[in-house]
A and B are shown apart, each in its own frame.
Chain A
Amino acid sequence: MALVAMNLACREETLQDFMKNAARPMGLIARLALWLASAGLLLMTAFVSAQVFMRYVMNDSIVWSEPAAIILMGWFIFLGAAVGIREGYHLSFDVLLYFLPTNAKLWLHSVSDLIVGTFGLGMLWFGAQLMLSSWNVILPSLGISGAFDFLPLVAGGILIAIFSLERLIRRAAGLPTARFGETELEEG
């Protein structure tokens, strides 16, 4: 019995070490995603102001600025949202949780992460289905495949699933996870 417990404790330790090591590459992925998302916001700003300038000053509208801005917006929303899972900045309703003991709270957090991760997988799987079904559609003004419309959904879905899994394993290993207003994650 004691042996099993020791074994478990030992395994928990290796899991902890493993997840601590994993925090660095995961942090890099999150940081990369946030950089890409920021670039998307800046590019969108550039496109829309260019459209205003070209239309008003040059009297020559840019026809692709609107659809391009919309696709960029999809990129930074889904990437930003995925990073939000890791950093725990999504809005949630915590009132009931305050009245529960820590243990129950952690269990409920895990249920939440499981649901979020599953939804992320759904974004991946059904997003891919949507990509396939619009593969042959050519987007007006942009001239690219309609699949690009759904690519941000798929990319965001993958990241959401990965980051939720990280949270689940970290919690199982007894490590802290970030949550709106609670813990800050150590910079990986």
Chain B
Amino acid sequence: MEVWVLFGTFVFLLLIGTPVAFCLGAASLATVLYLGMPPVIVFQRLNSGVSVYALMAIPFFIFAGELMVRGDIARRLVALAGAMVGHLRGGLGQVNIAASVLFGGISGSAAADATAIGGLMIPQMKKKGYDVDYGVNVTVVSSIIALMLPPSHNMIIYSISAGGRLSIADLFTAGIIPGLLLAITLMITAWFVAKKRGYPTEKFPGWSAFGLLFFNAIPGILLIAIIFGGVRSGIFTASESSCIAAVYALLVTTLAYRTMHWPQFVAATRAAVRTTAMVLLVIGSAASFGWLLAFLRIPAELVAMMKDLSSNPIVILLLINLILLMLGTFMDMSPLIVITTPIFLPVATAFGIDPVHFGVILVLNLGIGLCTPPVGTILFVGCAVGRISVWQAIRTIWPFYGAAFATLMLVTYVPFLSLWLPSLFH
């Protein structure tokens, strides 16, 4: 019965449009009251849910991303990507994807990626005769790359949801190959679609122009090197690297590019506070919700149920993937990570799946959910930037969904893709 109070209240409030953070909080409160326990527990969990040191990486990376978008770093990276892959079939589509690799590696936020790169690329693509839906499709699905490449704050959320015992550095490293693999499958898809629709290619601008673009983008690219170099050489920890990223972005945009002035700085700070508060309040409320799940022993029962269903890890993984994809279609990423990790991670480990590998599967899977209706934050952002309806976008997005799903299956069933790179550092 308690379980029904918990999930029933949650789903009801979700459906009537209550903000997700408060759906989680109020459902926990209702359940605690139903059980006759002191309500204070809900608020204590909310407070300790946001008082986690590793969570700091989220505001810092969001802040760094805002500074880079408003301080012109993102635009220079897109220009560089243009020179690198523009001459391939469907040139600007390829540029869009390559820019996601370059910029996504820095911002780690799919929404920032879709806004920044979509805002720059989609108008350009329109001008060159690409259909808008193609531009939106490519922008939206390639933003998932940002979730996979370090520094992805979603990996940090996963590490915390897994009880804080997983190394964030390992999770960061584990996402690299799957992220690049996704980029490749998307580029191949973009190539085929472009060929069918007869889209043009861009001319290679010549080595000297390329050199200039590269030179202009160096401070942006250096950020990746500084984060990785700093963490690997012991100057700072993985969570501290997020703070260094923000400080570095501030220094580059004020001192080197001279694009960051007081109004931009204030706007970036306020935007970072807004986004962070929104994301972290959900994480805090999910801590109450997760506590009740554990208290009611729901994960343990689910493990037992899954074990009855099948003893084959391949089947179990497929099942988990399907459930997650379904959940992902109607909920956002960070709350889903915090809610589903304590439920599915024990199931996965019970079937011998490495927690780091599972994290990569989870993030990729829920990332796909961000691109699918009815609730897909990146899809919304992409459609808003391209000024087309969600329906127009999803009518032609199928080949890209297919590519993302194929990558998900590869990443799921070939643990080597995720685990090989981190193993090199042990």
Binding site for B on A (CB under 8 A): 34, 37-38, 41-42, 44-45, 48-49, 51-52, 56, 66, 69-71, 73-74, 76-81, 83-85, 87, 89-97, 105, 108-109, 111-112, 115-116, 118-119, 122-123, 126-127, 129-130, 149-150, 152-153, 181
Q: Do the beta carbons of B243 and A52 come within 8 Å of each other?
A: yes
Q: Do the beta carbons of A77 and B280 come within 8 Å of each other?
A: yes
Q: Do the beta carbons of B44 and A130 come within 8 Å of each other?
A: yes
User: Whole-angstrom distance between the alpha carbons of A51 and B374 in the complex?
Assistant: 44
23 intermolecular pairs with C-beta atoms under 8 Å apart: A38-B266, A38-B273, A42-B269, A45-B60, A49-B247, A52-B235, A52-B236, A52-B243, A73-B55, A78-B277, A89-B274, A90-B19, A91-B19, A91-B332, A94-B17, A109-B17, A115-B22, A116-B22, A119-B22, A119-B29, A122-B43, A126-B42, A126-B44
- A52-B243, A70-B53, A90-B19 known; A122-B42 Cβ under 8 A: yes
Which residue from B18, B43, B63 sits with its C-beta under 8 Å from A45?
B63
Binding site for A on B (CB under 8 A): 13-22, 25-26, 29, 39-40, 42-44, 46-47, 50-53, 55-56, 59-60, 63, 235-236, 240, 243-244, 246-247, 266, 269-270, 272-274, 276-278, 280-282, 284, 330-332, 374-375, 377, 380
Which residue from A112, A129, A181 sits with its C-beta under 8 Å from B13?
A112
Which residue from A77, A94, A153 sits with its C-beta under 8 Å from B276?
A77
Q: Do the beta carbons of A48 and B240 come within 8 Å of each other?
A: yes
Known contacts A122-B29, A127-B43; 10 additional CB pairs below 8 A are A41-B276, A45-B63, A51-B240, A66-B53, A73-B59, A87-B274, A91-B332, A96-B17, A97-B17, A111-B18
- A38-B270, A48-B240, A52-B240 known; A126-B18 Cβ under 8 A: no
User: Whole-angstrom distance between the alpha carbons of A5 and B15 in the complex?
Assistant: 34
- A48-B56, A77-B277 known; A123-B240 Cβ under 8 A: no
User: Whole-angstrom distance between the alpha carbons of A56 and B40 in the complex?
Assistant: 41
- Chain A residues, Cβ within 8 Å of B15: 93, 96
User: Whole-angstrom distance between the alpha carbons of A79 and B244 in the complex?
Assistant: 24
Q: Do the beta carbons of B50 and A73 come within 8 Å of each other?
A: yes
- A56-B236, A91-B332 known; A112-B17 Cβ under 8 A: yes
Closest to A160 in B: B22
Q: Do the beta carbons of A34 and B270 come within 8 Å of each other?
A: yes
User: Whole-angstrom distance between the alpha carbons of A115 and B25 in the complex?
Assistant: 10
User: Whole-angstrom distance between the alpha carbons of A114 and B5 in the complex?
Assistant: 19
Q: A132 to chain B: closest CB distance in Å?
A: 11
Q: B52 to chain A: closest CB distance in Å?
A: 8
- Chain B residues, Cβ within 8 Å of A66: 53
- Chain A residues, Cβ within 8 Å of B44: 126, 130
- Chain A residues, Cβ within 8 Å of B47: 74, 127, 130, 149-150, 152-153
- A81-B277, A92-B17 known; A76-B59 Cβ under 8 A: yes
Q: Do the beta carbons of A126 and B43 come within 8 Å of each other?
A: yes
- Chain B residues, Cβ within 8 Å of A41: 59, 63, 269, 272-273, 276
- Chain B residues, Cβ within 8 Å of A69: 53, 56
Q: Which one of B47, B247, B375, B377 has the highest number of Cβ atoms from chain A below 10 Å of its Cβ? A: B47
Which residue from B60, B332, B375 sits with its C-beta under 8 Å from A95?
B375
- A80-B276, A112-B17, A122-B29 known; A90-B281 Cβ under 8 A: yes
User: Whole-angstrom distance between the alpha carbons of A152 and B46 in the complex?
Assistant: 11
- Chain A residues, Cβ within 8 Å of B50: 73-74, 77-78
User: Whole-angstrom distance between the alpha carbons of A111 and B12 in the complex?
Assistant: 11
Q: Which one of A42, A66, A105 has the highest number of Cβ atoms from chain B below 10 Å of its Cβ? A: A42
Which residue from B13, B17, B51 sits with its C-beta under 8 Å from A73?
B51
User: Whole-angstrom distance between the alpha carbons of A85 and B278 in the complex?
Assistant: 10
Q: A130 to chain B: closest CB distance in Å?
A: 6
Q: A81 to chain B: closest CB distance in Å?
A: 4
- A34-B273, A77-B284, A95-B375 known; A122-B39 Cβ under 8 A: yes
Q: B261 to chain A: closest CB distance in Å?
A: 16
- Chain B residues, Cβ within 8 Å of A37: 273, 277
Which residue from B17, B240, B282 sits with its C-beta under 8 Å from A93?
B17
Q: Do the beta carbons of A74 and B51 come within 8 Å of each other?
A: yes
Q: Do the beta carbons of B16 and A108 come within 8 Å of each other?
A: yes
Which residue from B18, B22, B244, B273 sits with its C-beta under 8 Å from A80?
B273
